[in-house]
Amino acid sequence: MSEPIKIDIWSDIACPWCYIGKRKFEAGSGLFAGAGDGRGVEVEYHSFELSPDTPVDFEGSEVDFLAGHKGLPAGQVEQMLERVAGIASSVGLDYDFDNLKHTNTVKAHELLHFAKEQGKQLELAERLFRAYFVEGRHVGRIEDLADLAAEVGLDRAQALEALASSRFEPAVRADQATAAEYGINGVPFFVIDGRYGVSGAQDAQTFAQVLEQVWSERAAVTA
């Protein structure tokens, strides 16, 4: 009964709801684990690119990007971002959209696969989200990404080699193919125990309830 529940999360570093969803899931899984009896989760991140056609060095602000990408007036985009920043704040995240550097995220996804191989994927995912949304760091260039990898204890030279060689791009594409097979067209998307899908940044209690349901079903099978 003590085997952790596997959680596969499709997300993009450039997705503001993914970082919010990460915090809400962490709160929900904490509630679940707090019930005892060996309850726990094992998390793995999977690649999803919201805007794969984005250049590495986008010239302009996040408002400029979204206004162009979604065809919305700048004023409406500013209101949207203000609302998202408010929700982020409610889960302890201090988003700084004014200094955010919009970029292509494929190399960030490659780095997450490298980090998974080294047993540091969860630490790197948190570092990349924070770098992008809170600190205004660049997460599209390989030199900057290698710096962030080193900050979570990964070997900088090895990270740089992995990125320069695109060694993990096939793994990124495989994740994206699986997302398409599952019908995932938006993130964050959580696949729980390979059986249940939860879409979006749901409340912590929702995640806790789904995890508890899976745990109860397991107990019924082994009883």
Helix, strand, or coil (residue 26): helix
The pLDDT assigned to 223 comes to 60
CATH number for the domain that contains residue 214: 3.40.30.10
Percent of the chain with pLDDT over 70: 99
What SS3 class is residue 128?
helix
For residue 25, the enclosing domain spans 5-222
**Other beta carbons within 10 Å of 129:** 23
Strand runs labelled E in the chain: 5-11, 41-47, 189-192, 196-199
What are the pLDDT digits (tens) for 145-197?
Answer: 999 999 999 999 999 999 999 999 999 999 999 999 999 999 999 999 999 99
Lookup: tokens for 41:
């989760």
What is the per-residue pLDDT across 51-66, written as a single tens digit (0 to 9) for each? 999 999 999 999 999 9
pLDDT tier at 69 (50, 70, 90 boundaries)?
confident
HSE (CB half, 13 Å, CA atoms) of 85? Answer: 15
What pTM did the predictor assign?
0.96
Number of folded domains in the chain? 1
